[in-house]
Amino acid sequence: MNSLKVLYVCAEVYPLLKTGGLADVSAGLPPALAAQGVDVRLLLPAFPALVAGVTPEGPALPVPAGGAPGLPAGLGPQPGTAHGPNPWLQRGRISANGQPVWLLHAPGLYGRGGNPYLDASGQPWADSAQQFAWLGWAAALLGTGLDGGWRPDVVHGHDWHSGLCFAYLRQMGRAGTPVPATVFTIHNLAYQGVFPAELRPRLGLPDALFQLNGLEFHGQLSFMKAGLKYSDAITTVSPSYAHEITTPEQGCGLDGVLRQRRAVLHGILNGVDNTVWDPANDPLVQPGFDADHLQGKALAKARLQKTMGLKKQADALLFCVVSRLTEQKGLHLLPSVVDELVQRGGQLVVLGTGDAGIVAALQACAQRHPGQVAVHIGYDEALSHAVIAGSDVILVPSRFEPCGLTQLYGLRYGTLPLVRAVGGLADTVTDCSLENLDDGSASGFVFHELGAPGLGGALRRAFALQRRPADWLAVQRHAMALRFDWARAATDTLRVYRQAHAIPHGTAPA
């Protein structure tokens, strides 16, 4: 087969716009696919941060309003706009790396700054459904030949933001329009893009799709379900999570749909971008270090203690959190073990933002233990590198975790992950049990039951390992030698593309 052409549909990409791991995946996977001969072009909404980082090329391409074979008229001009009746596409390249992209401009929908999904009060934007319906519509049109000079073999959509693309393409295919193969990736099933059913006509969706075996979800309209029902193949970001989401416990109400589609559900572990996360060459962590020359890590720890106002103690076991501060991440458990952590001689740095209750509890811990606990509310990319490089243990005690990236960064930087055995955490971290220490496979600390006792037990194992310096160093060196790279993820993804492209597509049943 000749080189595949892939339209990669997502809402964010590092370093231009990042709210979570999706941006890191969108930065790492497309170049790795391109290295294997795939012609990958991103489709992104024209949020200001993305526009600022893209160099335009060529003329704009108008995006016709809704109404295509198999679809009713629906999507149309945004009221009160001054830039013409419909959205348009601007071809370009990400200025920093040359990655080809399409930016979707839609007057009134994408021009505001800040969080792309939430307003100043932390609530979803009132027009979120229209924002991402237009993204799906533009993807469907590009998938069926809107750009006469480039037509994709595969449309690969990411998370609920791309979900309606698959419903639009399904209807076009059933009406006889040649459509590409489709692949849908779940990054986090808990975020589903669920909207009131009465929006259906405005989104150009036929009534026939609004039923239990279609887009209906508890009386509402689910963008996530559109991706699950109407794509040719589904991937998610770790093998364990691919199994977990077929169960009621972690299926978020969609486990039945996923069990029905189990034959085309693939778990592909995310990777680490070694151009960004490399302790030897990280410009944000200098002097650098590697597994055989750890002096730079000791210096990074001393710098971090100074930066965060902690006591300068080389032998303090320094734990860190770099995360959204939410129950999903298990961080509601952390305040209950902080006193013990400090009593045992440990220190804690927290970097993140999230639930007000968790934030307040952690800030209270910092006030109770000055010089031993520091909390920085917000997100800072440079500080995240400094925190991970300078810490001894990174905490990821998640309730559920599709893949997780911070534990992979921790492994790379010799910052041993302490994780709960779920999703990608279970796939990437091996506990420091005696047998695993004996055979050299240990890379961190793993607990199973969600609760303070499980987390506390793992903390005590970390302190116990610290008291065995030779074992700690052996585990640290093994962790740093592990590689979770995008080349492997790209190989696995390309295999899914070829499988999807080889079967009849575009007519998925309702």
Q: pLDDT: is 458 or 126 the higher one?
A: 458
- pLDDT tens-digit map of 136-178: 999 999 999 999 999 999 999 999 999 999 999 999 999 999 9
Residues 234 and 367 in one domain: no
Domain assignment of residue 159, yes or no: yes
Domain assignment of residue 290, yes or no: no
pLDDT at 507 over 60: no
Give the CATH number for residue 409. Answer: 3.40.50.2000
What pairing do the DSSP bridges indicate for beta strands 233-236 and 265-267?
parallel
Instruction: Give the separation between CA 20 and CA 499, rounded to whole angstroms.
Output: 29
Residues 262 and 361 in one domain: no
- pLDDT tens-digit map of 443-493: 999 999 999 999 999 999 999 999 999 999 999 999 999 999 999 999 999
376 beta partners: 351
What does pLDDT average to over the chain? 93
Least confident range of 113-117, 227-231, 481-485: 113-117
Residue 70: what pLDDT?
Answer: 73
- pLDDT tens-digit map of 272-308: 988 889 999 999 999 999 999 999 999 999 999 999 9
Instruction: Give the separation between CA 282 and CA 385, rounded to whole angstroms.
Output: 8
Residues 308 and 360 in one domain: yes
Tell me what the mean pLDDT of segment 397-424 comes to: 96
pLDDT at 258 over 50: yes
Residues 70 and 84 in one domain: yes
Domain assignment of residue 289, yes or no: no
Residues 411 and 493 in one domain: no
Residues 94 and 208 in one domain: yes
Instruction: Give the separation between CA 212 and CA 201, rounded to whole angstroms.
Output: 18
Task: Report residue 120's pLDDT band, with 50, 70 and 90 as the boundaries.
Answer: confident
39 beta partners: 5
Residues 194 and 48 in one domain: yes
Domain assignment of residue 462, yes or no: yes
pLDDT at 1 over 70: no
Residues 319 and 225 in one domain: no
Residues 202 and 71 in one domain: yes
pLDDT at 508 over 70: no
Domain assignment of residue 283, yes or no: no
Task: Report residue 337's pLDDT band, with 50, 70 and 90 as the boundaries.
Answer: very high
Residues 120 and 176 in one domain: yes
Domain assignment of residue 208, yes or no: yes
H-state helical runs in 125-217: 128-143, 163-174
Whether residue 335 contacts residue 321, with contact meaning beta carbons closer than 8 Å, is answered with: no
Domain assignment of residue 284, yes or no: no
pLDDT at 422 over 90: yes
Domain that holds residue 454: 295-483
Residues 265 and 336 in one domain: no
Domain assignment of residue 143, yes or no: yes
Burial 461-489 (b: 16+ CB within 10 A, else e): bbeebbeeeeebeebbebbbeeebebeeb
Instruction: Give the separation between CA 130 and CA 87, rounded to whole angstroms.
Output: 12
What are the strands, taking DSSP E only, across 305-372? 318-325, 347-354
Residues 204 and 306 in one domain: no
289 backbone φψ class: left, alpha, beta (φ>0; ψ -120 to 50): beta
- pLDDT tens-digit map of 18-42: 988 899 999 999 999 999 999 999 9
The radius of gyration of the chain's CA atoms, rounded to the nearest angstrom, is: 23
Number of domains in the chain: 2
Full-model pTM: 0.90
